[in-house]
């Protein structure tokens, strides 16, 4: 059985393991909605009751189809990237409710990512979220971030219920500090009463080859209430659920979900064309084309040496 956490503000429990819906969508693996729906369905059938997505991820349809006819409670967290724009944030709330076919979104966050969390940029967005919370359209509001400082800013913000920070065993993707510094900030936020659910536990797929250690690193910390893990096949769902439930994992399931089944994926919207990854690939698998990194899959051996050199966390393995 997966561990659960009770969330008083929602008056319900969720599994500490959540399904991260980013990698299945158009920004990464580009699964068709029905294919993504099979992953979502496998997740809830295996006991997962928490799903994380965002307006930007393009996965509302995958989730809605996967949950069609499913009667048990599933908690959904999504995000709006509206900045300094209350009207756009309101449209994102309406879109989430409509596309997911729900009367209420349990958690909705400001999609802050690599930026500072300041009132001049995120104030109008938070205002829209708080108003929707008052109307009962949203259960809890908060923010997602890759920054230690932003976790600190959210910790002292009275309207923030939830913080969704980036944390993993190597600190991969943290923009302004180490993993230890992020952990200290997270612990403080948790002690201040914020609900914490972590992202990038597997470093955007970079740690799939060492996934046991990477998952333990996050799930063993009880001040991290939950963590979402990107999963793109029913087998990956099964592997994660069995591992975190302490159940044995057969050789065939381990092989089906191992690193060699992954592919390097470059996130165009994040790549700034610095060329750092190109100079660290000894296999000549990367090149810059029109200011963006591109991969030659025939040459890429999935060694992962390039990814830690990408400050934008644009290199993922899905
Ligand atoms: S290191 Fe990252 S940002 Fe720089 S070119 Fe490579 S993928 Fe793009
Ligand atoms: S994973 Fe290894 S082989 Fe593939 S592009 Fe990165 S450094 Fe090159």
Residue found under tokens 């006991």: 47
Contact at 8 Å (CB) between 275 and 256? Answer: no
pLDDT on residue 241: 98
pLDDT score of 178:
97
CA of 33 to the centre of ligand 1 (A): 29
pLDDT of residue 112: 96
Residue whose Cα lies nearest atom 6 of ligand 1: it is: 277
Do residues 215 and 181 make contact, with C-beta atoms less than 8 angstroms apart? no
- Ligand 1 pocket mutation, candidates 203, 204, 206, 271, criterion most atoms within 8 A of CB: 271
Token pair recorded at residue 185: 């900030």
pLDDT of residue 175: 94
What span, in angstroms and rounded, lies between the C-alpha atoms of 48 and 173? 26
Q: For residue 280, give the ligand 2 atom closest to its CA.
A: 7
Q: How far is the CA of 274 from the centre of ligand 1 (A)?
A: 5
Position 301 scores a pLDDT of: 86
Q: Helix crossing, 179-191 with 148-155: angle to 10°?
A: 10
**33-45 and 60-67 are packed helices; what angle lies between their axes, rounded to 10 degrees?**
50
**Residues found in the chain:** 318
- Are the CB atoms for 215 and 16 separated by under 8 Å? no
Ligand 1 center–CA 147 separation, angstroms = 19
DSSP the chain: ---EEEETTTTEEEESEEEE-TTTSTTTT---HHHHHHHHHHHHHTT--EEE--GGGT-HHHHHHHHTT--S--EEEEEE---S-HHHHHHHHHHHHHHHT-S-EEEEEEEEETS---HHHHHHHHHHHHHHHHTTSEEEEEEEES-HHHHHHHHT-TT--EEEEB--TT-TT-SSS-HHHHHHHHHHHHHTT-EEEEB-TTTTTTTGGGHHHHHHHHHT-TTS-EEEEE--SHHHHHHHHHHHHT----HHHHHHTSGGG--EEE-TTT-----HHHHT-TTS-EEEETTEEEE-TTT------SGGG-TT--EEE-
Residue with the smallest CA separation from ligand 2 atom 3 is 300
Which ligand has an atom closest to residue 296 CA? 2
Residues with pLDDT less than 50, the chain: none
Residue nearest to atom 3 of ligand 1 (CA): 271
Residue 228 and residue 109: Cα distance in Å, rounded?
Answer: 14
What pLDDT is stored for residue 180 in this prediction? 98
Residue 206 corresponds to which tokens in the numbers above? Answer: 């970079």
Report yes or no: 182 and 172 within 8 Å, Cβ to Cβ: no
Say how far apart CA 201 and CA 203 lie, in whole Å. Answer: 6
Q: Does the domain spanning 263-317 belong to CATH 3.30.70.20?
A: yes
Domain boundaries, the chain: 4-259, 263-317
Ligand 2 pocket, residues with Cβ under 6 angstroms:
264, 281, 283, 285-286, 295, 300-306
Query: Residue with the nearest Cα to atom 8 of ligand 1?
Result: 271
4-259: CATH topology: TIM Barrel (3.20.20)
β-bridge pairing 17-20 and 138-145 = unpaired
Give me ligand 1 centre to Cα 292, in Å.
Answer: 7
Res 110: pLDDT: 98
Ligand 1 atom closest to residue 275's alpha carbon, by position in its atom list: 5
């Amino acid at each position: 059985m997966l561990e659960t956490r009770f969330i008083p503000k929602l008056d319900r429990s969720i599994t500490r393991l959540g399904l991260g819906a980013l990698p299945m969508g158009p920004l990464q693996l580009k699964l068709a909605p029905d294919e993504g729906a099979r992953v979502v369905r496998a997740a809830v059938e295996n006991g997962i009751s928490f799903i994380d997505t965002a307006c930007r991820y393009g996965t509302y349809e995958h989730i809605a189809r996967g949950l069609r006819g499913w009667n048990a409670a599933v908690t959904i967290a999504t995000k709006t990237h509206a900045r300094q724009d209350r009207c756009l944030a309101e449209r994102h709330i309406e879109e989430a409710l409509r596309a997911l076919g729900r009367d209420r979104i349990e958690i909705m966050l400001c999609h802050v990512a690599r930026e500072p969390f300041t009132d001049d940029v995120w104030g109008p967005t938070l205002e829209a979220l708080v108003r929707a919370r008052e109307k009962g359209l949203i259960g809890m509001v908060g923010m997602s971030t890759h920054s230690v400082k932003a976790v600190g800013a959210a910790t002292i913000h009275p309207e923030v219920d939830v913080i969704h920070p980036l944390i993993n065993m190597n600190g991969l993707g943290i923009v302004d500090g180490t993993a230890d510094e992020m952990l200290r900030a997270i612990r403080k936020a948790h002690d201040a009463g914020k609900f914490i659910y972590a992202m990038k536990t597997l470093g955007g797929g970079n740690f799939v080859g060492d996934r046991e250690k990477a998952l333990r690193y996050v799930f063993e910390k009880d001040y991290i209430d939950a963590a979402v893990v990107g999963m793109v096949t029913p087998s990956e769902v099964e592997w994660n659920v069995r591992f975190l439930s302490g159940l044995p994992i057969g050789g065939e399931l381990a092989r089906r979900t191992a690193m060699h089944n992954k592919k390097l994926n470059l996130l165009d919207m994040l790549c700034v064309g610095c060329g750092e990854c190109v100079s660290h690939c000894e296999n000549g698998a990367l090149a810059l084309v029109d200011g963006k990194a591109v991969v030659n899959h025939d040459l890429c051996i999935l060694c992962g040496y390039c990814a830690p050199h990408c400050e934008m966390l644009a290199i993922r393995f899905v």
